Amino acid sequence: MRRFNVVITPVLFCSNSQFLLPSLASSQTTPSGNLVYAVRQKASYLRVANRKRVEMFLGKRFHLPTRLQTAAPDIAQEWDHDKNPMHLYPEIVGIGYVAPVWWKCSTCQHSFSMSVEKRVVRGGGCPQCEMQETTNDIAIKEGENLLEGEENKELRPKRPVMFNLRTKY
């Protein structure tokens, strides 16, 4: 940050502006005959990793909530207090915690183990509810018009086939 001090010095008027310094020629003169100009003070320096001196500046940092209770209160409600250890609870666990913890599903009351990071950041949920949704999707899909391979399981390949599009010479 640049810091300036205002300095007022008496000056004699001369008709020739060539005797004034270029920085003083652009400064202002008061009616009393004093010259007002800004003097730059030394900025404070701080040492950085590459051993160069860099001018210090002010910056604003925005802190996002990282605790589970404040960042995702709806997911924190599904915390299983019975199965998790006593030293872990949603008020102190961060959303990037990768060790598996126990959750209790609010819809099916099934207790399952999953990391907080996978649950909050990657959007994981109850495995039983997800499995039930996929079976419901397949049941809905069976009623629609399906392709030959989807209708008849015998036409499906035993293992997936990958085609190579490169031509070999």
pLDDT digits (tens, 9 = 90+) for 38-71: 555 555 554 445 455 554 444 444 456 788 998 8
Q: What is the pLDDT of residue 96?
A: 87
Share of the chain above pLDDT 70, in %: 41
What is the number of structural domains in the chain? 1
Residue 65 domain-assigned (yes or no): yes
Exposure letters 46-61 (e unless 16+ CB within 10 A, then b): eeeeeeeeeeeeeeee
Residue 155 domain-assigned (yes or no): no
Residue 120 domain-assigned (yes or no): yes
Residue 88 domain-assigned (yes or no): yes
- β partners of residue 7: 37
Residue 51 domain-assigned (yes or no): yes
Residue 149 domain-assigned (yes or no): no
Residue 102 domain-assigned (yes or no): yes
Judged by average pLDDT, the poorest of 64-73, 102-111, 138-147 is 138-147
List the domain range (segments joined by +) for residue 82.
Answer: 45-143
**Encoded tokens for 110:** 């099934």
> 167 pLDDT exceeds 70?
no
Other CB atoms within 10 A of residue 84 CB? 16
What is d(CA 25, CA 14) in angstroms, rounded to the nearest whole number?
A: 12
Residue 18 domain-assigned (yes or no): no
SS3 53: strand
CA angle centred on 158, ends 156 and 159, rounded to 5°:
110
> Which phi and psi angles does 115 have, rounded to 5°?
-75, 155
SS3 35: strand
Long-range Cβ pairs for the range 58-65 (8 Å, 24+): 58/1
